[in-house]
Amino acid sequence: MDVTQGANPAKETLMGAQTVPYRGEAHASAAALTPDEVIALRRTHFFPCTQHFYQRPPVLISGSMQKVTDGEGREYTDFFAGVSVVATGHCNPAIAEATAQQVRKLQHTTTIYLTEPSALLAQRLAKLLDYPRVFFCNSGSEANEGALVLARRHTKRKGFISLTQSLHGRTSLTTSVTGLSMWRTDPFPDPDVYFIPRPYEYGMDPQQAAQISLDALEQTLREHGDRIAAMIVEPIQGNGGMIVMPDGYLARAKALLESYGVLMIADEIQTGFGRTGQLLASVQLGVKPDIVTMAKALGGGIPIGAFAAAEEVAASLNVPSASTFGGNPVSAVTALAVLDYIESEQLTERAARLGAAFKLGLERMKTYYPQIVSEVRGMGLMLGAELRADDPAVGAALTDRVLEEMKDRGFLVGKNGVFRNVLAFQPPIVIDTADIENMLEALDAVLGGIDQDRIKALDAEGAGEGEAQ
Ligand SMILES: Cc1ncc(COP(=O)(O)O)c(C=O)c1O
């Protein structure tokens, strides 16, 4: 239907032509598109970098807390939460109502004008996280980029230290400090980045791996310390395969950095806001970084990013800088509602409690299927199970197969890791024990259905096409 047909001629002239189609109907009936039609549109109009999970992906059209529903009415329990974002549940009524009210009241002004929500959110975060200053932006990449620039301004040095197999974003500078090669998109990364080995190696004692990493840190600081502004680190490497920084590692790294006047930036974009058992995983792992970055779960699905710092560091961001959407009233009100919900429902405690039981369940899978599950890792409701660490190509093919079969049984599981062979479990924290038990039962059946011949066949097939950040 073309509503410009027969419309006011002056309006037609302004539009220049009668070819602008009416889009409302198409949006309202989006569920009418089949998965193949959505794939065809994406293949035609998205950039070729865009990939998706599954050989037979569903089109997801609605969500409610830990459940999502596809265009054919099939319901799935979500164990990935849109990569750690929807921690407080899909379309959580308590949060969605606050967002909707703000959408109807005032949507946008920028920080040039005074509004209440962003000021209240800054105050709330300062109190909760113990960082007095906050800068709002729109995404994780932007938060990390801002934090890196802040570190450069504060130290008047250019270089950075980062860990191998890390992921920090999609902008030019954040891809430069990203260790995972598949996410280093910019062909001309910033040359002043020093990568040190992450404190993990399959089969190695965590303290030994920590020592190797710290030795490399010390050497890098000795050789280049006077040119380095900050070290950026994820307390748990999410995309790197759910690698938790070993006990004491972050505190020892911080002490070394301090002795060279180098800042520590904790990238809490995936770990932040309750998932690991505390609001910030860095606190849980025993360190107070100079700058923390956050995004994802803070907005519960509404885009928001932020970095926070101590007074003295924040003082260095003293030239005009503003983000058009940063601190937008809709995202700020949503984030306040997210924080209210985390607090009132005690989601941090819930993540710790459910996560401990969940992890035991995954460990059980490892004992049942030692030829498939190599290692179970993570903290709280940020867990991973690596498949076939001895042969990651087979592990990756198995991971894709497990994801597909779990989806067919009604469970959305994620994947990550250097070789994309780690099952990732980051469900909405509102998930309950029965959901976890049902998922583990399905996982048991799926893993139990994989025999050695099948592993060989998968090896011959190679990895599937689905990928996602
Ligand atoms: C640890 C970490 N940092 C940064 C980012 C980038 O965040 P965004 O995609 O919001 O730009 C991600 C995204 O997955 C992430 O996991």
Q: What is the pLDDT of residues 372-397, one digit of tens each?
A: 999 999 999 999 999 999 999 999 99
Instruction: Give residue 232 CA to ligand 1 midpoint distance, Å.
Output: 13
pLDDT for 397: 96
pLDDT bin (cut points 50, 70, 90) of residue 451 is confident
**Which tens digits make up the pLDDT trace of 317-342?**
999 888 999 999 999 999 999 999 99
Would you state the structure tokens that stand for residue 343, as one six-digit string?
């607090």
Residue 428 is part of a domain; what is its CATH number? Answer: 3.90.1150.10
Residue 17 has pLDDT above 60, yes or no: no
Ligand 1 contact via 85 beta carbon (within 6 Å): no
Cβ–ligand 1 distance for 326 under 6 Å, the answer no
On whether both 357 and 434 belong to a single domain, the answer is yes
Distance from the alpha carbon of residue 269 to the mean position of ligand 1, in angstroms: 6
Is 57 inside a domain boundary? no
Among residues 344, 366, 399, which one ends one of the domains?
344
- The CATH number linked to 174 is 3.40.640.10
Is residue 218 domain-shared with residue 356, that is, in the same domain? no
Report whether residue 146 contacts ligand 1, using a CB cutoff of 6 Å.
no
- 292 and 370 together in one domain: no
CA terminus-to-terminus distance, the chain: 37
Q: State mean pLDDT over 271-289.
A: 97
The whole-model pTM stands at 0.92
What is the pLDDT at residue 390?
A: 95
Instruction: Confirm whether 265 is domain-assigned.
Output: yes
Tell whether ligand 1 has an atom less than 6 A from the beta carbon of residue 170: yes
For every residue of 3-44, DSSP letters joined together read: TTTT--HHHHHHHSSS-----HHHHHTGGGS-HHHHHHHHHH
Domain that holds residue 8: 1-29
Does residue 199 fall inside a structural domain? Answer: yes
Residue 382 has which token pair? 């940020």
What percentage of the chain carries pLDDT values higher than 70? Answer: 90
Tens digits of residue pLDDT in 80-101:
999 999 999 999 999 999 999 9
Q: Is residue 227 included in any domain, yes or no?
A: yes
Under the banding of pLDDT at 50, 70 and 90, the label for residue 39 is very high
Question: Does 1 or 378 have the greater pLDDT score?
Answer: 378
Beta-strand relationship, 373-379 and 382-387: antiparallel
Higher-pLDDT residue of 244 and 450 is 244
Q: Is the CB of 269 under 6 A from ligand 1?
A: yes
* pLDDT for residue 425 is more than 90: yes
pLDDT tens string 332-372: 999 999 999 999 999 999 999 999 999 999 999 999 999 99
Q: How far is the CA of 293 from the centre of ligand 1 (A)?
A: 10
181 and 308 in a single domain? The answer is yes
Q: How far apart, in whole angstroms, are the C-alpha atoms of residue 338 and residue 326? A: 17
Pair 352, 340 in one domain:
no
pLDDT over 90 (residue 8): no
Asked whether residue 330 falls in the same domain as residue 355, the answer is: no
Nearest atom of ligand 1 to the alpha carbon of 142:
11
Region of residue 18 (phi > 0: left; psi between -120 and 50: alpha; otherwise: beta) = alpha
Ligand 1 pocket residue status of 240, Cβ below 6 Å: no
Lookup: tokens for 259: 């002795």
For residue 306, name the pLDDT band (cuts at 50, 70, 90).
Answer: very high
Residues 195 and 231 in one domain: yes
Residue 83 Cβ contacting ligand 1 at under 6 Å: yes
Instruction: Give me 302's structure tokens.
Output: 């509404």
Q: How far away, in angstroms, is 294 Cα from ligand 1 center?
A: 9
Q: Cα(330)–Cα(106) distance, rounded to whole angstroms? A: 8
Q: Is residue 9 situated within a structural domain? A: yes
Average pLDDT, rounded, for the chain: 92
Whether 246 is in a domain gets the answer: yes
In a shared domain, residues 16 and 105: no
Residues 322 and 445 grouped into a single domain: no
User: Which residue of 183, 236, 296 sits with most ligand 1 atoms within 8 Å of its CB, as the best mutation to test the pocket?
Assistant: 296
Which range is least confidently modeled, 150-154, 238-242, 252-256, 462-466? 462-466
Q: How far is the CA of 418 from the centre of ligand 1 (A)?
A: 16
What's the CA gap between 159 and 458, in Å, rounded? 43
Q: Is ligand 1 within 6 A of the CB of residue 139?
A: yes
Q: Are residues 270 and 335 in the same domain?
A: yes
The continuous run of DSSP H or E covering 128 comes out as helix 116-129
236 CA from centroid of ligand 1 (Å): 13
| pLDDT of 5 above 80 | no
Q: Give the number of the atom of ligand 1 that is nearest the alpha carbon of residue 141.
A: 11
Q: Is the pLDDT of residue 4 over 60?
A: no
Atom 16 of ligand 1: nearest residue by CA position:
270
- Residue 264 is given by DSSP the state E
Do the Cβ atoms of 247 and 205 come closer than 8 Å? no
**Residue at 39 is within a domain:** no
Please check whether residue 284 is in contact with residue 170, taking contact to mean a CB–CB distance below 8 angstroms. no
Task: Mark whether 394 and 322 lie in a shared domain.
Answer: no
| Residue pointed to by tokens 């998205």 | 46
The number of CA neighbours under 13 Å toward the Cβ of 350 is 18
Amino acid (one-letter) located at 379: M
Is the domain of 373 the same as that of 309? no
Residue 329 lies in a domain: yes
